[in-house]
Structure 1
Amino acid sequence: MMAANAAPSFAQEAAVPAAAQAPQSSSNDGGSIGDIVVTAQKREQRLQDVGLSVTALSAETLANKRISTLADIAQAVPGLVYTQSQTGTPVYTLRGVGFFESSLAAYPDVSTYIDQVPLPLPTTATLTAFDLDRVEVLRGPQGTLFGNNATGGAINFIAAKPTDNFVAGGSIGYGRFNTFSADGYVGGPLSDTVRARASFKIVKGDDWQKSYTREATTGKTDTAAARLLIDWDASDRLKISLNINGWLDRSDPTSPQYVKLTPQNPAGTPGIGGVVPADLPILNYPLTPRNARATDFNTTFPPRANDRLWQTAVRADYDVVDGITATSITSYLDTRLRKDLEYDGTSLEAYDIVNKTGRIKSFSQELRLANDGSGGIRWVVGGNFESTKVGESSLNLSGASTSALINGFTQSLFASQQKMKNYAGFGNVEYKITPEITLKGGVRYTQANRNTVSSNSQDPNYPDPGALGVTQFFNIVWGSLGFIYPNYRPITVGQSFVLDNRLGADGLPLDPSTYGTAGLFRGSLKENNTSWSVGVDYKVDPDILLYANVSQGYKAGSFPDVAAATWSQFQSIKQESLLDYEAGFKAQFANRTITVNGAAFYYDYQDKQLRAKIVDGIFGLLDGLVNVPKSKVKGAELSVNMRPVRGLTINMSGTYLDTEVRSYNGVVAAATDPATGLRVPVRQSYAGARLPFSPKVQLGADFLYEMPLTDTLGGFFGADVSAQSKSYAVLAATAQDKQDFTVPRRTLFGVNAGIRAADSSWRLAFWGKNVFNKYYTLNTILSYDTLIRYAGRPAEYGVSLSFKM
């Protein structure tokens, strides 16, 4: 099994049943669908010839559908769901498999790469989608191909490469919200043995969200990204590639919408700071109207960000002997983040995050040896190592919340330092036993280690700690429980107040030396697993392929990012595993003018990782991470791609998912134990509940019609539609949860039309996204006193002029 963010060995050799798949090339007769070809291990192969489920979005598709963000990619790929998190960390769910956790150090269920180079954590992939040859979305656990943390699948961005001839091009655009964009590239030979390509993209736009209670706006776009690729043919046997890329994001994080009051302490509740009054502003704040642009936010600390990344990667391919190549891929990545975040959806300081900072430093190294597949056997063996360090901190402000009066404090400072190291060895083989039948198998062993130091304390630099301040509050609370925690000693401002309350199954302290004391939480997690895959491809004839695969993948365990009061909240969750049974077909008919691809699958999902509620004896319901012992996913997908007449391309696809929890008794409420006065969990079976962000039906369709207007001028017109049924933002066991956390069904339309030069040297396009201004939501989150939702962007439209030489 490959390490957590190891590069794929030859994942590009996958087949494409994708909805939004657009042909990379077409035959001269204008009728047949051209081959979608990818290169892996110095050979080209039609994706239609390999039995794996992948969506390929070509450069043409990316341009026609204005796909430039991670959310755009998800909208174009049925089965893939993009979720907006409170911290801005992107979360992908593929075929119902995803991990909604906003911690910077949380590995995803759907891993991302750029040219086989890992983007180890979700934030690092934020601005990768520019100057691309294609995007590949691989479904299902990738096992030996991508390794750990790809139980849901993987997304591989393929950058446009340096060429042997001079090329240059770019585009400028203008759209709604006064959005200007510009991108460009230049490349070609620097010498007989060196080629290079440089590219950039800049987007700047005005605020798209506005307050519904006063004159204030937020939501600006301000991004820049660049990439430099250099290929060097050092000798006949040695080729070296350099990739230097980076991005800067100063856009405003999305502000949520306040849709329901969920007071932690209703009016009349007494506490240290007094009784919660009925006229407390948060208890009487107006709800957000049903308008995508409507929101409210703290103007003292409005949503803002200053995030940046740079990455350097070097790949070397050396032909050891004829037919065998050694490959080294080395990468170093450095990411810095600084944000102020709106969490409660009001102008009050009921729950906001200020000065959230983060730093990600990641090094990875892969070494592998592979043959060229001659003689009917193709093999690869190798190993890799990854080391990632993540530090993050955030100041939580809650002075306007109902709890501020009850508890007497208004702020706390959460911080953590995590270190992850992953080691792996892998092997994969494909054996063509007859011209029609190929057997496939692979195995990978992974050792995953993680350490964390986490804390929660009073920030001595914040001027308003509250009536007591969080330090004094916990000194009072923990001190009053001396009969339970006799080892407690008072802390001072700046020290962590998080208390070790951990008990074993026998009811005794897990660590008597720290039990009942407050301080830094130190945790470690050491896990190993063996991922594997087996399969068979049957080539019925040159245009029909049948395949069947069984594969098992794993995702490493994790520590949560929560403002904890006790060490039990910081406890880790163990690794999850997914066993995939899958069969499919790929077929082309009518002189390859029609492509029909389909697959059916069944997932046996063990120990799914989930952010959920746990119960603290003092504070009741708090956030934490849990494992869901048993779940299942079954489904099917189908895509049809056609060129019925010259110039017309039609793509249609759909995915059906049936997800279900089979075994999990989870917390639904907190009650008070009359004997001790402590809060205890109220549990309920979640059996039968659907997994979060897993709509049962997702559909997509698009067409593009190109026609000549004159000998030197052509025209084009296209449209696309994507639809999905309702889903839930949480594991919903109660009727109230289903009502509060429903992500409603939606159907979105896009259009593009324009003119172009007959030789494709320039192109003028007019485009629209969500053209009917459909109001839809991406996520719903319980944020202490308020229930908030994140709305999708409203209708957008614009014009772009592109050119190439």
Structure 2
Amino acid sequence: MNKLMESVSIAALTTAAVASPSIANAQDQFDNGAATASAQDDPAPSRDNVILVTAQKRSESINEVPLAIQAFGGEDLRQSGITEAQSLAVVTPALNVARSSANTPIYTLRGVGFNTPNLSSTSPVGVYYDEIAYAYPFMSSGPIFDIERVEVLKGPQGTLYGRNTTGGLVNFIVQKPDTTFGAGLNVEVGNYDTQNFEGYLNIAVSDTLAARFAGRIERSGRGWQKSISRDERLGEKDRVGLRGTLAWALSDRLTVDLVASYWKDQSDTVAGQAVLLNPDQPAFVDPRLRTAIRDDWTSTTADWDTLDGTKAPFKADSRFYGLAGRVRLDLSDDISLVSLTGYNDVSRNDQNDVDGTSVEVFAQQSVGDIQSFSQELRLEGSAGPVDYILGVYYSKDDITDNQIGNYDRSSVLQLLRFLSQNVIDPTNALYTPEQYATGFRSYRNTTEQRNRSKSVFASMDWELSDKLSVTVGARYTDDQLKFSACSGDFNGNTLPIWNTAVHFLVNVQTGNVPNFNVQPNGCMSYAANFTELASFKRPVLNEDNLAGRLSLQYQANPDLLIFGSFSRGYKSGAVPMLPTNVETQLAPATQERITAYELGTKATLVGGAVQLNGSVFYYDYKDKQLFSEVLDPVFTTLTRLVNVPKSEVYGGEVDLNVRVSDVVDFRLGASYTKTKITEFTGFDRSGQPADFVGSSFPYTPEWTLNAAVKVDQPVSQTLGLRGNVVANYQSSTAASLGDEPGFKVDAYTVVNASLDLYSSQDNWSVGLYANNLFNEYYWNSTDVLTDVVFRIPGAARTYGVRLGWSY
């Protein structure tokens, strides 16, 4: 056997644990470095095989890991219609993924999430590719393709993974090269003029060097959203993802994996749906808005602005590339040194209309970029009954995040223009009538940040006896955040209104007369005393913390594991990018902390045909980061990022997998999550004081149910038929604190299905697929920016034919 193959081990995958038993064999690339055979090329495993995962940085059966974890093979993802990270909620209980008004994904796991549209904000639910952090949720906006498996870990992950996360993490493990030539191509043709292409090419350069190239192209020429006011559509898709992977065994003890990733998205952005009129200044509300509010929206209807009677360019223009290197040196049979190096670069220039009307109440252009570098070095070893990991981690991120807002017909702006032209400057001594008539249509928000994180960590697994073992881990982290931020004029457009009406209202409300004029493209937010411009010279936010985990696991018999754990995790402090009238809005939120307690079991029953996993948990939550309202003398309320002093989360989960027969597999997952704020007072969006004690967290349905039925039936000696149906139910929740009108997110059920005819050689297939099979109308995001409460709907039904070929 050649050197490359000697440096790896192959792990069989089956749903006796948490994925389908029909998943083919796949390698565990963390055993000894480079990776091997493609999963789809191997025969189906026997039911005794179990999924091997690397949640604890070593290969082990998922049923032996004392964590709440779920794993899905790459073929499972494809059959379930999962082609982007945001779709993982379809198969994962307790995971909720919403899309913000600025096209940014919002991940919430067991009630722990961070509702923000900002490019610059990290998430308490981390996303990783081969252990390299995609620390900012927007980085995960590309397509999913050529994946070996994905692992979802629930609860604080502050010990072994580089970025502290309070909610959990999602780790994608990509397919790695092997030493046999291979190629594959999948083509999908569907409604909305859809053509998708996905393929891979595996090349053995030598007996120690192999390369793999993979990609996915998604195109749809006809949008799925139809304007209710004119003959226009939104929803065209134009997205591409590429990846190149190199596996090199330099010797029997030294292996190197290199990965280069790229994606680009130039698709249409999603339009909102107006559901409630909530004017800031009722006397000045645009009368067209009163007829734009509807309660009969469907999965395919929406509305959006026009620009001078032409189709508005509400599109994304985003791109990402990443470089990752993994080097493993076996110092001895028992000790290895592992280096992980990552560099990710993302930029976006997305234009979104969010108010759900043809009136320009609010639209925004989101522009920014992030350069993120990370380096981890760890020592892995074993000594008798003890396995251990010692490591250090460093990361640095440079961030620019800008937003250009347009709200020409908002009621506040109409009031401000009226005051400027008719009360403050009726003779036009300061600005012309044209400048007043169009003034403040645009403004900008901006932030520049530099985040630096350093940590040292250690973990130990100790077998106290044949049945009892203990895991102890700790990570000390030192974080530093430098930033500047403000709201400012945009090319002189904001000045005529800000330097007149806004100054006037500040004087009326505060008694302080501003003694300055905002300059073109200059910052315009007030200092806390409202008499001068804010300096925006803020102290650096320095924070440190000690995260840790203590777990006891008892293997009662080979088929029953019982575990209990105590863990603590942190999410670092954050600075918002938002519309700012006064500098106090830009005060950073400090780090949040979760102390988690969990009890769980993993039971293999009926000779391996049934796997039943369950757990209950309780989180003591301190200083949760949350966007809330603050009173403002001009705009009634504006947003501020705050810390909720005290809250709690508790619930339970069960995951049942049944091998009904050699042909049929069944999976059912259920999760109950209860969230509750126990200490927090603030303001609602109308500016009224509110005590939020007892309120639930946003985007946290109490119940989520996931079900899957898979059938794999031979129909002849050369042909087989494979069917797959997955369903996700989420109970109702809300997108804001308290019981504010219009912010309810109704319960919904989404069903995806596929049916494929394939050859027994598994070298070709032809089939049908449908996502959102029953065209369920649902939304998982609701917000208000001014005057109108709007929804961001989920995608309508897509269906088509697909062809697959492999060699």
Distance of aligned partners of 1:347 and 1:231 in 2 relative to their CA distance in 1, 3 Å threshold: same
Counterpart Cα distance in 1 of 2:699 and 2:18:
19
State the number of aligned residues: 754
Is 1:410 the equivalent of 2:441?
A: yes
**Paired residue type of 1:710:** S
Counterpart Cα distance in 2 of 1:257 and 1:586:
44
Question: Residues 182-234 of structure 1: CA distance to partner in whole angstroms, max 9, x if unpaired?
Answer: 01001132112111111000000121111001111111111001000101112
> What SS does the aligned partner of 1:321 have?
coil
> What SS does the aligned partner of 1:435 have?
coil
Counterpart Cα distance in 1 of 2:194 and 2:568:
45
From 461, 470, 474, the equivalent of 2:498 is 470
> What SS does the aligned partner of 1:533 have?
strand
Counterpart Cα distance in 1 of 2:608 and 2:111:
32
Distance of aligned partners of 1:537 and 1:42 in 2 relative to their CA distance in 1, 3 Å threshold: closer
- Aligned residue in 2 for 1:564: 580
1:499 touches 1:516 (CA, 8 Å); kept in 2?
yes
TM-score of the two chains, using structure 1 as the length reference = 0.90
> What SS does the aligned partner of 1:711 have?
coil
- Aligned residue in 2 for 1:348: 359
Counterpart Cα distance in 2 of 1:308 and 1:125:
11
Counterpart Cα distance in 2 of 1:43 and 1:572:
37
1:17 touches 1:638 (CA, 8 Å); kept in 2?
no
CA apart distance, 1:475 = 4.6
Question: Residues 215-264 of structure 1: CA distance to partner in whole angstroms, max 9, x if unpaired?
Answer: 11111111001000101112222111111011000011111101111111
CA apart distance, 1:298 = 1.7
- Aligned residue in 2 for 1:114: 129
Counterpart Cα distance in 2 of 1:576 and 1:515:
34
TM alignment of 1:243-322, pairs within 5 A: 243-267=259-283, 276=284, 280-287=287-294, 289-300=296-307, 301-322=312-333
**Paired residue type of 2:763:** S
Question: Residues 557-586 of structure 1: CA distance to partner in whole angstroms, max 9, x if unpaired?
Answer: 111111111101111111110011001111
Distance of aligned partners of 1:375 and 1:515 in 2 relative to their CA distance in 1, 3 Å threshold: farther
CA apart distance, 1:716 = 2.0
Question: Residues 524-578 of structure 1: CA distance to partner in whole angstroms, max 9, x if unpaired?
Answer: 3111110010011111122211111110000011111111111011111111100
Is 1:228 the equivalent of 2:259?
A: no
Is 1:527 the equivalent of 2:543?
A: yes
> What SS does the aligned partner of 1:781 have?
strand
Is 1:709 the equivalent of 2:715?
A: yes
- Aligned residue in 2 for 1:140: 155
1:471 touches 1:493 (CA, 8 Å); kept in 2?
no
1:30 touches 1:645 (CA, 8 Å); kept in 2?
no
- Aligned residue in 1 for 2:487: 456
- Aligned residue in 1 for 2:797: 795
> What SS does the aligned partner of 2:752 have?
strand
**Paired residue type of 1:774:** E
> What SS does the aligned partner of 1:740 have?
coil
CA apart distance, 1:682 = 3.9
Question: Residues 59-114 of structure 1: CA distance to partner in whole angstroms, max 9, x if unpaired?
Answer: 12112111102232112101000011011110100001000011111110100110
Distance of aligned partners of 1:644 and 1:615 in 2 relative to their CA distance in 1, 3 Å threshold: same
CA apart distance, 1:775 = 1.1
2:454 touches 2:477 (CA, 8 Å); kept in 1?
yes
Percent identity over the alignment is: 29
**Paired residue type of 1:561:** M
Counterpart Cα distance in 2 of 1:482 and 1:23:
69
Counterpart Cα distance in 1 of 2:272 and 2:560:
48
- Aligned residue in 2 for 1:700: 706
CA apart distance, 1:286 = 4.7
Distance of aligned partners of 1:616 and 1:18 in 2 relative to their CA distance in 1, 3 Å threshold: farther
- Aligned residue in 2 for 1:365: 375
Counterpart Cα distance in 1 of 2:325 and 2:558:
37
Distance of aligned partners of 1:134 and 1:683 in 2 relative to their CA distance in 1, 3 Å threshold: same
Counterpart Cα distance in 1 of 2:522 and 2:737:
35
- Aligned residue in 1 for 2:337: 326
Counterpart Cα distance in 1 of 2:537 and 2:224:
41
Counterpart Cα distance in 2 of 1:554 and 1:13:
35
Q: Extract unaligned runs of 5+ from structure 1.
A: 1-11, 268-275, 503-513, 671-680
Is 1:688 the equivalent of 2:687?
A: no
Is 1:438 the equivalent of 2:453?
A: no
> What SS does the aligned partner of 1:780 have?
strand
- Aligned residue in 2 for 1:575: 591
Question: Residues 667-726 of structure 1: CA distance to partner in whole angstroms, max 9, x if unpaired?
Answer: 1266xxxxxxxxxx6422211111111111111111111111111111122322221211
- Aligned residue in 2 for 1:83: 98
2:13 touches 2:73 (CA, 8 Å); kept in 1?
no
Question: Residues 336-394 of structure 1: CA distance to partner in whole angstroms, max 9, x if unpaired?
Answer: 1111110211122111113x2111111111111111x3511011111111100110222
Distance of aligned partners of 1:757 and 1:459 in 2 relative to their CA distance in 1, 3 Å threshold: same
Distance of aligned partners of 1:330 and 1:626 in 2 relative to their CA distance in 1, 3 Å threshold: same
> What SS does the aligned partner of 2:59 have?
strand
From 609, 613, 628, the equivalent of 2:629 is 613
- Aligned residue in 2 for 1:6: none
1:25 touches 1:35 (CA, 8 Å); kept in 2?
no
1:353 touches 1:395 (CA, 8 Å); kept in 2?
yes
**Paired residue type of 1:723:** Y
- Aligned residue in 1 for 2:725: 719
Counterpart Cα distance in 1 of 2:540 and 2:89:
34
CA apart distance, 1:148 = 4.1
| CA RMSD of superposed structures (Å) | 2.5
- Aligned residue in 2 for 1:64: 79
- Aligned residue in 2 for 1:335: 346
1:638 touches 1:655 (CA, 8 Å); kept in 2?
yes
Counterpart Cα distance in 2 of 1:254 and 1:18:
37
TM-score of the two chains, using structure 2 as the length reference = 0.89
Distance of aligned partners of 1:529 and 1:23 in 2 relative to their CA distance in 1, 3 Å threshold: farther
CA apart distance, 1:485 = 6.3
2:378 touches 2:390 (CA, 8 Å); kept in 1?
yes
Counterpart Cα distance in 2 of 1:102 and 1:251:
18
1:594 touches 1:642 (CA, 8 Å); kept in 2?
yes
Counterpart Cα distance in 1 of 2:44 and 2:781:
46
Distance of aligned partners of 1:28 and 1:296 in 2 relative to their CA distance in 1, 3 Å threshold: closer
Distance of aligned partners of 1:28 and 1:422 in 2 relative to their CA distance in 1, 3 Å threshold: closer
Distance of aligned partners of 1:163 and 1:489 in 2 relative to their CA distance in 1, 3 Å threshold: same
From 401, 404, 410, the equivalent of 1:401 is 410
Is 1:592 the equivalent of 2:582?
A: no
Question: Which stretch of the first structure deviates more once superposed, 712-721 or 605-614?
Answer: 712-721
Counterpart Cα distance in 2 of 1:521 and 1:794:
47
1:13 touches 1:39 (CA, 8 Å); kept in 2?
no
Counterpart Cα distance in 2 of 1:637 and 1:190:
47
Counterpart Cα distance in 2 of 1:776 and 1:370:
47
Counterpart Cα distance in 2 of 1:774 and 1:39:
36
Counterpart Cα distance in 2 of 1:553 and 1:18:
27
Counterpart Cα distance in 1 of 2:392 and 2:577:
31
1:23 touches 1:36 (CA, 8 Å); kept in 2?
no
1:496 touches 1:520 (CA, 8 Å); kept in 2?
no
Q: Extract unaligned runs of 5+ from structure 2.
A: 1-10, 26-41, 418-439
- Aligned residue in 1 for 2:745: 743
- Aligned residue in 2 for 1:496: 523
Counterpart Cα distance in 2 of 1:458 and 1:653:
51
From 375, 391, 394, the equivalent of 1:382 is 391
CA apart distance, 1:619 = 3.0
- Aligned residue in 2 for 1:753: 755
